[in-house]
Amino acid sequence: MLPGRWQNGILARCTGCPDMRIIDRYMLRQFLKAFLICLISLTGLYIVIDAFTHLEDFLRCAEKRGGLFSVMSFYYATRSVVFFDRTAALLTLSSAMFTATWIQRHNELTALMAAGISRVRVVMPVVGAAVGILLLAAVNREWLIPRYRAELVKWPRDLAGVTARELQFRYDAETDILIRGRAVQPELSRIDRPDFLLPLPLTDYGTQLVAAEAFYRPPEGNRPGGYLLRGLEQPKNLDSVPSLKLRGRPVIITPPDAPDWLKPGECFVVSEMSLEELTGSEGLRDYGSLMELIRALRSRSADYGADVRVAIHSRIVQPLLDVTLLLLGLPLVLSRESRNVFLAIGLCGLVVSAFMLVVVGFRYLGTVSLLSPALAAWAPLILFVPLATALTESMRQ
């Protein structure tokens, strides 16, 4: 119910009246309360289900890294940040629809409208708070999540220590070298048993580079970025031959040309493809910032597919899509003057399901190159903005 001072008189008709601040604070308090309850409940449910699923992995890790509580706390603290990002739009919409239904259920909206205050003015603090949360989610997506990307790509079984993963063979798009290996250890930036297949212009000393291990080294000073191969097994004569060049640029650097940082039995393969890019774009696509995605796309060595291009456009349009979803769902409750909380929840689920099906469908079409990446990301916004505008206008009537 509204505060007591509203129960015994006529509400102010002027929306600029100081008394309107009481309504704003009341609506804001109801919305934030609903949002926090939903966020904490869903996050707790996710943690409980996931923790029981991977309990054996956590127990095994706790024996090596300390107590079970500390291991699980850090693991789920980082996952909770991602969970907030994935559910922010849904939670703001459901909280806003619940708040609107709640004030209609207790006839508070009727009293406010009888005093000459429009529906739009009543829900303005709710919309403002929802937009603020969605902007916070965008900041979280671009700043906080990328800082913990190395942790977010790990499974519970990887927490116990260094874990070798299968290496997916990939071509360096600039040099046409096929980078292969038995396994990769991202924590050490290491490839076990590297076996690089060389293109025809680089086969003066052999068709393969086989070594015991390889380490990715980022650019430093005059040294380019690439892979340092140690324990070279094939070919065996690289300690006494000059470096190999491609289009006038050194690609396979041998010890005679870099005696200050290359030892016998080593060689250096120049590549702009980092180990993270080599092991797949999923972690970068899901947890990287927008600027990191753009820089990766500009890399001459990593030939990313349409999925990363769709992800870049989707990252730009995501805040606008979140606000559009809010403006699609909230008018459905206010224009119907529904007092049934369960009906509001059902409408919220229906709106979100239809909205997400369209968004995911268009993005899939862009990923498989049936649509351009830009159109695949922006088409849902083009489709839903006119509908959201029409529904918002209905609240003014």
Report pLDDT digits (tens) over 317-337: 999 999 999 988 888 777 665
Q: Which residues in 295-314 are b (16+ Cβ under 10 Å) and which e?
A: ebeebebbebebbbbbbbbb
Of the candidates 266, 282, 272, 236, the residue with the CA atom closest to the CA atom of residue 251 = 272
Determine contact, residues 65/71, Cβ cutoff 8 Å: yes
The per-type count for the chain, helices as H runs and strands as E runs, is: 13, 10
SS (H, E, C) 210-275: EEEEEEEECCECCECCEEEEEEEEECCCHHHCCCEEECCEEEEECHHHCCCCCCCCCEEEECCCCH
Which residue reads 């509400």 in tokens? 11
- As a whole number of Å, the CA-based R_g of the chain is 28
Burial (Cβ within 10 Å: 0-12, 13-18, ≥19) of residue 176: middle
Model confidence band, residue 214 (pLDDT cutoffs 50, 70, 90):
very high
User: Count of CB atoms within 10 A of residue 47's CB?
Assistant: 16
pLDDT tier at 2, thresholds 50, 70, 90:
very low
Q: Which secondary structure element, helix H or strand E, spans residue 275, and what is its range?
A: helix 275-278
Altogether, the residues listed in the chain come to a count of 397
Residue 11's pLDDT band, with cuts at 50, 70 and 90, is: very low
pLDDT confidence of residue 16: 44
3-state DSSP assignment of residue 195: strand
Q: What is the pLDDT of residue 397?
A: 59
For residue 168, which of 281, 278, 284 has the smallest C-alpha distance? Answer: 278
Confidence (pLDDT) at 203 = 87
Phi and psi at residue 288, to the nearest 5°: -85, 160
Distance CA 279, CA 284 (A): 10
Residue partners of 136: CB distance under 8 A and separation at least 6: 88
Q: What burial class does residue 391 get, using C-beta atoms within 10 Å of its C-beta: 0-12 exposed, 13-18 middle, 19+ buried?
A: middle
The position carrying tokens 């979100």 is 352
- Spatial distance between the Cα atoms of 334 and 332, rounded to a whole number of angstroms: 6
Which stretch of DSSP H or E encloses residue 47? helix 20-53
For residue 92 the two structure tokens come to 């703001």
pLDDT greater at residue 82 or residue 335:
82
278: left (phi over 0), alpha (psi -120 to 50) or beta: alpha
One-letter amino acid at 384 equals: F
Nearest 10 degrees: CA dihedral of 352, 354, 356, 362? -160
pLDDT value, residue 59: 84
pTM here is: 0.77
For residue 87, which amino acid is it?
A: T
What is the Cα–Cα distance from 97 to 92, expressed in whole angstroms?
9
Q: Which residues contact 125 (CB under 8 A, 6 or more apart)?
A: 23, 24, 25, 27, 28, 31
Tens digits of residue pLDDT in 165-177: 778 788 888 888 9
For the stretch 124-165, pLDDT in tens is 899 999 999 999 999 999 999 998 887 888 787 777 665 667
Structure-token pair, residue 381: 């916004």
Low-confidence winner among 13-27, 34-48, 233-247, 270-284 (lowest mean pLDDT): 13-27
- Distances, alpha carbon 127 to alpha carbons 86, 132, 136, 164, 219, in Å: 19, 9, 14, 48, 47
